[in-house]
Amino acid sequence: MVSNEQDILRRIKEGNMEGLRQLFEGYYAMLCGIAVGYLRSSHQAEEVVSDVYCYIWENREKLNIHTSVRAYLIAAVRNRCLNSLEQSKRERALLSNVPVEACREDLLASSYSTPLAGMITKELEVAVEQAFNALPTACREVFRLSRFENLSYEEVARQKNISVNTVKTQMKIALQRLREALLR
Answering whether pTM is above 0.85, one says no
Residue 120 — very low, low, confident or very high, per pLDDT cuts 50/70/90?
A: low
For helices 164-183 and 115-133, angle between their N-to-C axes, nearest 10 degrees:
140
Domain ranges of the chain: 5-94, 100-183
pLDDT value at residue 128: 75
**5-94 belongs to CATH 3.40.50.300:** no
Tell me the CATH number for domain 100-183: 1.10.10.10
pLDDT band of 155, cuts 50, 70, 90: very high
Cα–Cα distance measured from residue 55 to residue 49, given in angstroms and rounded to the nearest whole number: 10
Distance between CA atoms of residues 163 and 158, nearest Å: 8
Q: Which residue has the higher pLDDT, 173 or 121?
A: 173
